[in-house]
Chains A and B, each alone.
Chain A
Amino acid sequence: MVDVNVMLHELVPEHTLLSEEEAKKVLEGLKIKVDQLPKIRKDDPVLKILEMVEGEITEGRIIKVTRRSESAGVSVVYRMVVERVK
């Protein structure tokens, strides 16, 4: 289905799917609604890989992205899954 696993590339940071409970906690912590999060497209190559593991990821789920940061060492970002970016 996919020829390349982009997740293995050194420039692609770690992506994980949050469970519904985790998602709720994150949103409560930030005191925001889902649509205030940055977005990630459902057809993003990374999501394709994630879907092979987690099954279909519907719009509105949250992906946690953990990456290296020049200033903070590690930085964590949450993204909402969308069909297409507005």
Chain B
Amino acid sequence: MIGRGVSKRIKSIKFAFLSPEEMRRLSATKIITADTYDDDGFPIDMGLMDPHLGVIEPGLRCKTCGKKVDDCPGHFGHIDLAMPVIHVGYVKDIKNLLKATCRECGKLLLTDAQAKEYKKDMDRIGDSGGDFLDVMLVTKETAKDASKRQSCPHCKAVQRKITLDKPTTFREDGHKLTPKEVRERLEKIPDEDLIPLGIHPGIARPEWMVLTALLVPPVTVRPSITLESGDRSEDDLTHKLVDVLRINQRLRENRDAGAPQLIVEDLWELLQYHVTTYFDNQTSGIPPARHRSGRPLKTLAQRLKGKEGRFRSNLSGKRVNFSARTVISPDPLLSINEVGIPVETAKELTVPIRVTSYNIDTIKELIRNTVNPPEDLFYSAGVNYVIRPDNRRVKVTEKNAETLAESIDIGYTVERQLVDGDIVLFNRQPSLHRMSMMAHEVRVMPYKTFRFNLAVCPPYNADFDGDEMNLHVLQSEEARVEAKVLMRVQEHIISPRFGGPVIGAIHDYVTGSFLLTFRDSKFTREQVIKILARLDYEDLPPSRVEDGIEYWLGKELFNLALPKDLNIEFKASICQHCDDCKKKECDVDAFVHIKDGKISCGTIDEKAVGAFKGRILDKVARDYGSDRAREFIDTITKLALGAIMVRGFTTGIDDEDIPNEAKIQIEDLLKNAKREVDELVSAYREGILEQMPGRSLEETLEVEVMKVLGRARDTAGQIAGKHLGLENSAVIMAKSGARGSMLNLSQMAGSIGQQAVRGERIARGYWGRTLPHFRKNDLGAEAKGFVESSYKSGLAPTEYFFHSMGGREGLVDTAVRTSRSGYMQRRLINALEDLKVKQDGTVRNTADTIIQFKYGEDGVDPSRSIRGDAIDMDDILLEVLGERYWGLYTGEREKALASYGTQEKDMLSISFEEEEVEEE
């Protein structure tokens, strides 16, 4: 496979053990003492901080290589262990080896013929291109087969049962095997018997899995830090090695002095514990070693493992320069492409600029500006560093600014502070899709937050309750161009996830558009000027006069944002889905009709301009390109905000006020519902409740009760809703799609309804009842979590309790869902990250093998598709047939389509995947 763009391919990686001899050869010094520094603060020779192990203090030279701090790579030392200990990382392998070989002669417990057979199997798989894992499978088989044998086929010795007492104690028929005995057994295994077991004897003798020497990492790996108080604080690894050395010393002394066996064994076990925790302090079966403060020590395995480990935290993800992070806040007057950056940030972040004959004068000016900014400007960029052709960096300071300005020449590079228009990457975690990181243009602004247009909140999933975001300044011309072409906000208006807009009006923008365009909302000259003040437009639409008063129609103001040749027709969010749609004569002005860029009827709300659902937005982005779409969003943003501000908009709890007779009506309704439930319960008790097919009697009762109570809640909502009209702010928000739903409102004004845990009425708590407030076996509405009250009237104590139960379940569900989907996403990305679509439309991996012959099997880019389809039949028909096509409706329209093409899919069903509103 070499030659197809892969210049070098790693064929194999070999893993081997370090033999004690090799450790000693690697070692710069033997470590014998547990003391690190002497009284004068100098490192003790042959101690853990021996200067032969490398340097960590600036100015000093390494005693091994003679180099200084950053040049000396550090050198290993070693500890000679008084008695051998098991290496925790290999206990499994040791166990398998002990089981598979003879306790007397050390040979593999298979006949020579069997061994040869397995060896042949391995070779065959290796030759036919099977990889390491396949070969290992055979060796496992070999070991398993050998372990089954009761007596040695070579020396006839009877084998005993080897067990492992976790983590590191081996037993033979219950008798303890010391590491020394284990090592002796492993030593006896002949080289040729190792090969069928998958061990290459030249590089890995099994007895090396039992340590007789311990490699001590260089000090550079475990630097000590000097605290402000002058005290020295040692790395966890050093602490652990001190423990090892101490016990090692005592063990040697006791052994040499001929101390009782019991004491020696205790110390030996302690040494085993320290060496084990030195490798992995989370070994199961033993308590983790702790720091004096009680904190568990971070030893070798802990440095590598997990999210904070070396791999995920330092190698797959790194800290970077030219980046900034701060709290975000909204600025509706910024373009969606822009990001507001605090002056302090702008002065810290830089872009490298190469000095040429074209810009040398400007750059000189910039350097002078650094210390002498022009007074009439709010912000002026300076230069932080000058980089000379020999790569020497000079910081621009008050003193040297003038001389530096004079000294720069072509070939120099300067690091210029940010200016308006610089391209930066902006990101909010968790970065779940590509729109989580987009390129923005810089706008330097006062105050200390990053700011952006609220239309860009949905792709980042950002709000302003304290969210922070990251910003990265691009450092090369290619990177800037690439970011501008591929990553700019305006290029991501349409999401590849569902082929609709992810950037668009939300919240007040939707309310504003609604207020601007609903029915014939009128605006005076003064108001119009206020609304249009920040807009760029060619002609003000002509005013109208009624009763001598001049006014403008909101709809005509909205036309200013539309492309001049736009044609579209759809139903607004406020549509009541009447059975017989009156279209242009709609009672609630919910039928939007736009011809040649002019609205003739209909209200602009979420369905027109909202993120996820905006039909006009979608059409503009598709048909007129991203530049026009950006302009469209920027314009409607300002229009909507102008409208909402001149009219004024507020909501309060009195928006949920309903008249007394409505309240009484709801009360009666709920009373009836409860009576109905009681009747169902007594029917159930008398055994006259009709059982539903496929359900038990209890289930039938539950279903019936839920039905009754659900209906009651809905009816209560309807009664309340009757008194909440479109003049009500809360209703405007709910119906236009800005925020909240009619259900929210009816729960505030009418009744909250049944609370559920695991989809059922609440049943847990005490014996036979949910709370002591109720009789045992009460199956009525109140006793099982029906909340009759509204949020506004307030809940009874029992109701409050049930509501908390339901609420808690919701919270737990979201928490579980996010963590689970996060892990799933991680696995998916790891599996798919290096697939790409090639020029010929195939999807391939890095080995250039085909994964998919056509991207998505149909080769359609979802972000350029019309709700999943390559072409928009609806639009083409409109183009061909003109407005006549609008005349053909539902049934007829579908028939027209069917006869037009053989496309199977339902082109007309405009079924956007409804984005569920995620509550915090």
B129 touches A86 (CB 8 A): yes
- Chain B residues 845 to 860 lying within 8 A of chain A, measured CB to CB, are 848-851, 853-854, 856-860
Partner of A73, one of B129, B849, B904: B904
- Distance between Cα atoms of A77 and B857 in the complex (Å): 10
B128 within 8 A of A: yes
A37 touches B856 (CB 8 A): no
A83 within 8 A of B: yes
Chain B contacts for A37, CB-based, 8 A: 849-850
A30 within 8 A of B: yes
A71 touches B857 (CB 8 A): yes
A35 touches B840 (CB 8 A): no
B850 touches A86 (CB 8 A): no
**Binary contact track B785-804/A, C-beta < 8 Å → 1, others 0:** 00000000000000000000
A58 within 8 A of B: no
Chain B contacts for A70, CB-based, 8 A: 857
- Chain A residues 48 to 86 lying within 8 A of chain B, measured CB to CB, are 69-73, 75-78, 83-84, 86
- Chain A residues 12 to 43 lying within 8 A of chain B, measured CB to CB, are 30-32, 35-38
Chain B contacts for A76, CB-based, 8 A: 853
- Distance between Cα atoms of A32 and B856 in the complex (Å): 20
Q: Smallest Cβ distance from B889 to chain A, in angstroms?
A: 28
- Distance between Cα atoms of A1 and B134 in the complex (Å): 28
Question: Which partner residue on chain B sits nearest A73 by CB separation?
Answer: B904
B1 within 8 A of A: yes
- Distance between Cα atoms of A79 and B326 in the complex (Å): 52
B123 within 8 A of A: no
Chain A contacts for B842, CB-based, 8 A: 30
Chain A contacts for B851, CB-based, 8 A: 38
A71 touches B856 (CB 8 A): yes
Question: Which partner residue on chain A sits nearest B842 by CB separation?
Answer: A30
Chain A contacts for B860, CB-based, 8 A: 71
Partner of B850, one of A38, A71, A84: A38
A75 touches B853 (CB 8 A): yes
B1 touches A31 (CB 8 A): no
A83 touches B853 (CB 8 A): no
B130 within 8 A of A: yes
B131 within 8 A of A: yes
Question: Which partner residue on chain A sits nearest B865 by CB separation?
Answer: A71
Chain A contacts for B131, CB-based, 8 A: 86
Contact count A vs B, C-beta below 8 Å: 46
- Distance between Cα atoms of A84 and B858 in the complex (Å): 30
Partner of A84, one of B128, B844, B849, B904: B128
Chain A contacts for B840, CB-based, 8 A: 30-31
B854 touches A75 (CB 8 A): yes
B129 touches A77 (CB 8 A): no
Interface residues on B, range: 20 to 34
B853 touches A32 (CB 8 A): no
Chain B contacts for A69, CB-based, 8 A: 857-858
A84 touches B854 (CB 8 A): no
Q: Smallest Cβ distance from B529 to chain A, in angstroms?
A: 51
Q: Contacts A35-B1, A38-B850: A75 and B129 contacting too (C-beta < 8 A)?
A: no
Chain A contacts for B853, CB-based, 8 A: 30, 75-78
- Distance between Cα atoms of A36 and B851 in the complex (Å): 9
- Distance between Cα atoms of A35 and B840 in the complex (Å): 18
- Distance between Cα atoms of A36 and B848 in the complex (Å): 7
B854 touches A83 (CB 8 A): no
A86 touches B848 (CB 8 A): no
B850 touches A72 (CB 8 A): no
Q: Smallest Cβ distance from B911 to chain A, in angstroms?
A: 15
B904 touches A38 (CB 8 A): no
A32 touches B850 (CB 8 A): yes
Q: Smallest Cβ distance from B860 to chain A, in angstroms?
A: 7
Chain B contacts for A35, CB-based, 8 A: 1, 849
- Distance between Cα atoms of A32 and B853 in the complex (Å): 12
Chain A contacts for B857, CB-based, 8 A: 69-72, 75
Q: Smallest Cβ distance from B136 to chain A, in angstroms?
A: 14
- Distance between Cα atoms of A75 and B134 in the complex (Å): 33
- Distance between Cα atoms of A73 and B854 in the complex (Å): 13
Which of A30, A32, A70, A71 is the most central at the interface, judged by chain B CB atoms within 10 Å of its CB?
A71
Chain B contacts for A31, CB-based, 8 A: 840
- Distance between Cα atoms of A75 and B855 in the complex (Å): 11
- Distance between Cα atoms of A86 and B859 in the complex (Å): 28
- Distance between Cα atoms of A32 and B840 in the complex (Å): 11
- Chain B residues 574 to 598 lying within 8 A of chain A, measured CB to CB, are none
Chain A contacts for B848, CB-based, 8 A: 32, 36
**Binary contact track B648-659/A, C-beta < 8 Å → 1, others 0:** 000000000000
Chain A contacts for B854, CB-based, 8 A: 72, 75
Question: Which partner residue on chain B sits nearest A31 by CB separation?
Answer: B840
- Distance between Cα atoms of A71 and B134 in the complex (Å): 37
- Distance between Cα atoms of A72 and B903 in the complex (Å): 11
Question: Which partner residue on chain A sits nearest B845 by CB separation?
Answer: A36
A36 touches B850 (CB 8 A): yes
Partner of B128, one of A32, A71, A77, A83: A83
- Distance between Cα atoms of A84 and B130 in the complex (Å): 8
**Binary contact track B829-872/A, C-beta < 8 Å → 1, others 0:** 00000000000101010001111011011111000000010000
Which of A36, A78, A84 is the most central at the interface, judged by chain B CB atoms within 10 Å of its CB?
A36
- Distance between Cα atoms of A75 and B850 in the complex (Å): 15
- Distance between Cα atoms of A69 and B849 in the complex (Å): 21
A86 touches B849 (CB 8 A): no
A71 touches B849 (CB 8 A): no
Q: Smallest Cβ distance from A76 to chain B, in angstroms?
A: 7
- Distance between Cα atoms of A86 and B558 in the complex (Å): 62
Chain B contacts for A73, CB-based, 8 A: 904
Q: Smallest Cβ distance from B211 to chain A, in angstroms?
A: 36
- Distance between Cα atoms of A83 and B134 in the complex (Å): 13
A72 touches B130 (CB 8 A): no
Q: Contacts A84-B130, A86-B130: A72 and B858 contacting too (C-beta < 8 A)?
A: yes
- Distance between Cα atoms of A52 and B856 in the complex (Å): 33
Chain B contacts for A36, CB-based, 8 A: 844, 848-850
Q: Smallest Cβ distance from B3 to chain A, in angstroms?
A: 10
Chain A contacts for B868, CB-based, 8 A: 71
- Distance between Cα atoms of A38 and B842 in the complex (Å): 12
- Distance between Cα atoms of A31 and B756 in the complex (Å): 60
Q: Smallest Cβ distance from B588 to chain A, in angstroms?
A: 38
- Chain B residues 435 to 464 lying within 8 A of chain A, measured CB to CB, are none
Chain A contacts for B904, CB-based, 8 A: 73
- Distance between Cα atoms of A22 and B858 in the complex (Å): 23
- Distance between Cα atoms of A76 and B858 in the complex (Å): 11
Q: Smallest Cβ distance from B147 to chain A, in angstroms?
A: 27
Q: Smallest Cβ distance from B836 to chain A, in angstroms?
A: 14
- Distance between Cα atoms of A31 and B134 in the complex (Å): 32
- Distance between Cα atoms of A78 and B851 in the complex (Å): 11
Which of B840, B853, B859 is the most central at the interface, judged by chain A CB atoms within 10 Å of its CB?
B853
Question: Which partner residue on chain A sits nearest B852 by CB separation?
Answer: A77
Chain B contacts for A86, CB-based, 8 A: 129-131
- Distance between Cα atoms of A50 and B34 in the complex (Å): 72
- Distance between Cα atoms of A42 and B868 in the complex (Å): 37
Q: Smallest Cβ distance from A59 to chain B, in angstroms?
A: 10
Partner of B858, one of A30, A38, A71, A77: A71
Chain A contacts for B844, CB-based, 8 A: 36
Extra contacts besides A30-B853, A70-B857, A72-B859 (16): CB < 8 Å: A30-B840, A30-B842, A30-B850, A31-B840, A32-B848, A36-B848, A37-B849, A37-B850, A38-B850, A71-B856, A71-B857, A72-B857, A75-B854, A84-B134, A86-B130, A86-B131
What are 22 A-B residue pairs whose CB atoms fall within 8 Å in the complex?
A: A30-B840, A30-B842, A31-B840, A32-B848, A32-B850, A35-B1, A36-B848, A36-B849, A36-B850, A38-B849, A69-B857, A69-B858, A71-B856, A71-B857, A71-B868, A72-B857, A72-B858, A72-B859, A75-B853, A75-B858, A77-B853, A86-B129
The 5 closest A-B pairs by CB, nearest first: A72-B858, A71-B858, A75-B857, A72-B857, A69-B857
Which B residues are closer than 8 A to A by beta carbons? Answer: 1, 128-131, 134, 840, 842, 844, 848-851, 853-854, 856-860, 868, 904
Which A residues are closer than 8 A to B by beta carbons? Answer: 30-32, 35-38, 69-73, 75-78, 83-84, 86
